[in-house]
A = this chain, B = another copy of it.
Amino acid sequence: MSLTSQKLKAEKLENNSTKSDWVFGFGNGRADGHSGMRNLLGGKGANLAEMSNLGLPVPPGFTITTDVCAYYYDNSNSFPDDLSELVDQHLSLVEKSVGCIFGDSNNPLLVSVRSGSRASMPGMMDTVLNLGLNDKTVEGLATRSVDVRFAYDSYRRFIQMFGDVVLGIEHYLFEEALDNIKLDAGVTLDTELTADDMCLVVKKYKEIVLHELGEPFPQDPKKQLWLAIKAVFGSWMNQRAKTYRKLHDIPADWGTAVNIQAMVFGNMGEDCATGVAFTRDPSTGENIFYGEYLSNAQGEDVVAGIRTPQHLTISGKNQINSQGISMEESMPEVFKKLLDIRNILELHYKDMQDIEFTVQKEKLYILQTRSGKRTAAAAVRIAVEMVEEGVISKKEAIHRVEPSQLEQLLHPRLDPGSSRNVLTRGLPASPGAASGKIVFSADMAEDMSQKGEDVILVRIETSPEDIHGMHAARGILTTRGGMTSHAAVVARGMGRPCVVGATEVSIDYDKGVMTVGGRSFVSGDLVTIDGAEGELIEGSIPTVEPDLSGGFYLLMEWADSLRRMRVRANAETPTDAEIARKFGAEGIGLCRTEHMFFDPERIVAVRQMIMSDDETGRRRALDQILPYQRKDFVKLFEIMSGLPVTIRLLDPPLHEFLPHSDEEIYEVAKVSGKTAEEIREIATKLKESNPMLGHRGCRLGITYPEIYEMQAKAIFEACLIVSDKKESSVIPEIMIPLAATSVELEILKKKIDSIADAVFKKRKQTIKYTIGTMIELPRAALRADELAEEAEFFSFGTNDLTQTTFGISRDDAASFLPDYQHYGILNVDPFVTIDIDGVGELIRIGCERGREKRPEIKLGICGEHGGDPKSVSFCESIGLDYVSCSPYRVPIARLAAAQASSSE
């Protein structure tokens, strides 16, 4: 079947009609097509038809359909016989509507030519503006606009654009010529060139075309038009477009349409203008008409910044005490029409619109309308108010706010008004902004913060023993590591702004100096970090505190009523647990018990345990830690009363707890009865080449069963203590990390069960608990059926699963991930958004096989991805029961989960 006949058939089915003309007109408040005809008219053509049908004054024009494209390729690059006539007919309709004539030297009609396929597709010919200009019509344009320079500037731009995309002339030739003329004129900016200079540029450009093409620049507007149409169709099959289609699974037979539209000008006198309007205030969301305009100007003039645009409304003008004249005053009639259009558009699109308009000789034209970009606060307010106004449903409202945008609302940010000298950029690891004095150690951070100083902790990388310093600091900067490095994960959990992997910064701890971009900063120098942007900024910059509106809470409530998945938090400290609960967490999905080991009160006992020669010594040391762990769990259970708390047994390799400084070593030596030399020897023995793949997780539980025994005992005792108090109910879930085989689980589950039995027997009381595992190794996902024989729940540890599946250490990735994103090898950082094709497949396999063996198995995710909207959406698609993320990301996850479960 030929391309044409296939397409015709598809089109007929789609439109349920036999109509299949080659050309569809639009403008003057009506159109031949409509928004449902995207396949035939392309996205752009359908939108233009849509706006026209709404009665908006769109500059008139017409769309040559994708059927023509198919015909073109099916018939050796020729057009249907009747196309030329149809184009002429539509062109004359446009002429009539605008009151100008295509090719007329006095009052020339100029048009734009744009491609437009069903899906937006880079790599194709984009736009030719001002088509119709030639040596004659340029004079007409000059007269009409009373601006010779403008006319010739338009002409030379047209030649350049047409020469490049239609005639295929290397664009650097035009740039060289322009540069030469600027040199001759002794100017550096294009805007400094005079009208005469522009005439000269046009002359040079035409010479280039003649030289390159062997024939002069086409002067016949009709010829220009047909060349442009052919160029659009031709670009459908160029290499870049083909590659793009291949990568995005777009069939070649979709074809492209061509949109031809009258140019309108806002610079033809004082009865002309150009501007941009928002149907609501894009920064606050307030329901007021908001925008700016410039009279007698083109869009470019706004960009060039030579003249200051004025407010559209009197109230807008008054708000900033502007002396200018608002459009409401200068063009009251036109303004009224614009105000009407504002209402039409909001009602039609049911969203705040960003409208581009031009007034040509008192006639208003709407060039474009689209959903307007807005701040997070505005997004929330608009969504909530539109529900209250009855414009959209609650479900629609929750889809109007980008979950990740909420970060803006939850953290302090830099005062947008202040200027910033950015020293370098790293990865935006934890949002929020903070200023403070540089410190290079966790202890120093704590000391200075206790003295009331704001500090920024600057480290090559952080480790669990820096946690007190991270807590004391206002923000954290590291020079190594990726989005899930220790610093990033912990900072997000604490809600501290954090920039990681700032590779251009070098740190000399001994000298207490940080060097970046050839400048040195010492301890105590002021810097600011913007964790949302990943910036390190010189000096101190004022910040704006977050202020959560009532609308925010309302929107969250709606989200909660719509979502299927539960949202939990990763938290271990009472502070974090309380924040999490405040943000709506429905339990703890990951309590990392090792974070409790670093407390100064217990770290010595932990180290003593590691240094013991035998089990007896280890048990003695663990006995000292037990009461602390129990107390920790009691607090957590109380805060999370009635909600599940997933406690992960000790996970990191023991060497993470080793003493480093001489003082620490001496202290451990003292309590353990060993020499400092012996302590150092044991430390060396414990060192690992690849700790991530080392002696950690349940491997510790197998080789040193007494550790997990102590932890299990602390958990069960805490359960009973809390459940004794009235009104507190405990739902403990004990999680075994890093399992790769079912036998590991079998052995450890037996051990934990026997501890529970012993504790329950002693206290003559029992409590329900479950035992599950983290799926964080590819093997665990593949053998999930086997693991599910033992595990009552799975929590996908996507950080480690990403590290192992990809073979990428999150701590070392900073050295190549930027290049990987630059070359398009990775579209997203797999530590930020789940790699659905690889890691995602393992998660899917894990879920399927787990459910096969144990249909009621509880499935969740506790990696950092739990707070990433795209990943949350993936979790919904495979039917997980919950996601768990840092406390500060809980609202994001709640919204994302609601969007995911109410999509379509």
Contact = CB atoms under 8 A, between A and B. Distances in A.
B803 A693 contact: yes
Contacts of A837: 782-783, 786
A828 to B, nearest CB: 12
Given A506-B681, A703-B816, A812-B688, A777 B823 contact: no
B779 A806 contact: yes
A16 interface: no
B800 A778 contact: no
5 contacts: A688-B811, A690-B809, A747-B825, A778-B804, A782-B837
Interface stretch (A83-91, A342-350, A838-846, A868-876): A838-846
B806 A703 contact: no
A824 B783 contact: no
A99 interface: no
Interface stretch (A114-122, A466-474, A563-571, A736-744): A736-744
Nearest to A738: B807
A695 B812 contact: yes
- Which residue of A703, A807, A812 has the most chain B CB atoms within 10 A of its CB atom? A807
A826 B699 CA distance: 12
A307 to B, nearest CB: 45
A702 B803 contact: no
A249 to B, nearest CB: 13
Nearest to A814: B695
Contacts of A819: 702-703
Interface in A415-431: none
Interface in A661-709: 681, 685, 688-695, 699, 702-703
A823 B746 CA distance: 11
A244 interface: no
Contacts of A506: 681, 685
Interface in A753-807: 776-779, 782-783, 786, 800, 803-807
A783 B741 contact: no
Nearest to A699: B816
Contact of A693 (B702, B777, B808, B839): B808
A694 B692 CA distance: 11
Contact of A804 (B691, B747, B807, B811): B807
Contacts of A805: 777-779, 782, 804
A67 interface: no
Contacts of A864: none
A797 to B, nearest CB: 10
A703 B822 CA distance: 11
A485 B778 CA distance: 21
Q: What are the 6 closest A-B residue pairs judged by CB atoms, nearest first?
A: A693-B809, A779-B838, A690-B809, A778-B778, A689-B811, A694-B812
Contacts of A699: 816, 820
A549 interface: no
B842 A741 contact: no
B747 A693 contact: no
A87 to B, nearest CB: 42
Nearest to A743: B825
A825 B777 CA distance: 16
Contact of A778 (B690, B811, B842): B842
A815 interface: yes
Chain copies in the assembled complex: 2
Contacts of A816: 695, 699, 702-703
Contacts of A826: 741
A586 interface: no
A826 B703 CA distance: 14
A835 interface: yes
A744 B699 CA distance: 34
A693 B695 contact: no
B807 A841 contact: no
Contact of A811 (B690, B738, B740, B835): B690
A662 to B, nearest CB: 18
A506 B805 CA distance: 35
A817 B783 CA distance: 19
Contacts of A681: 506
Given A690-B691, A777-B805, 16 more contacts: A690-B693, A690-B809, A691-B812, A694-B812, A695-B812, A695-B815, A702-B820, A702-B823, A740-B806, A740-B808, A743-B823, A744-B825, A747-B823, A747-B825, A782-B805, A783-B838
B838 A688 contact: no
A803 B694 CA distance: 10
Interface string A825-865: 11000000001011101100000000000000000000000
Contact of A839 (B695, B776, B779, B815): B779
Given A738-B807, A741-B825, A803-B693, A815 B703 contact: yes
A820 B689 CA distance: 20
A743 B692 CA distance: 27
A842 B809 contact: no
Given A778-B838, A815-B703, A823-B743, A692 B695 contact: no
Contact of A800 (B461, B800, B807): B807
Contact of A807 (B685, B703, B776, B823): B776
A681 B803 CA distance: 27
A502 to B, nearest CB: 13
- Which residue of A681, A702, A786 has the most chain B CB atoms within 10 A of its CB atom? A702
A782 B694 contact: no
A692 to B, nearest CB: 4
Contacts of A776: 807
B695 A740 contact: no
A692 B691 contact: no
A414 B781 CA distance: 45
A172 B461 CA distance: 59
A742 to B, nearest CB: 9
A743 B820 CA distance: 10
A808 B776 CA distance: 12
A800 to B, nearest CB: 7
A775 to B, nearest CB: 11
Contacts of A747: 823, 825
Contacts of A741: 825-826
A517 to B, nearest CB: 15
A800 B842 CA distance: 18
- Which residue of A740, A786, A839 has the most chain B CB atoms within 10 A of its CB atom? A740
A777 B807 contact: yes
Interface string A388-416: 00000000000000000000000000000
A686 to B, nearest CB: 8
A466 to B, nearest CB: 15
A808 to B, nearest CB: 6
A816 B699 CA distance: 7
Contacts of A823: 702, 743, 747
A814 to B, nearest CB: 9
Given A804-B804, A812-B695, A825-B747, A835 B779 contact: yes
Interface string A305-333: 00000000000000000000000000000
A746 to B, nearest CB: 9
A804 B702 CA distance: 20
A894 B816 CA distance: 41
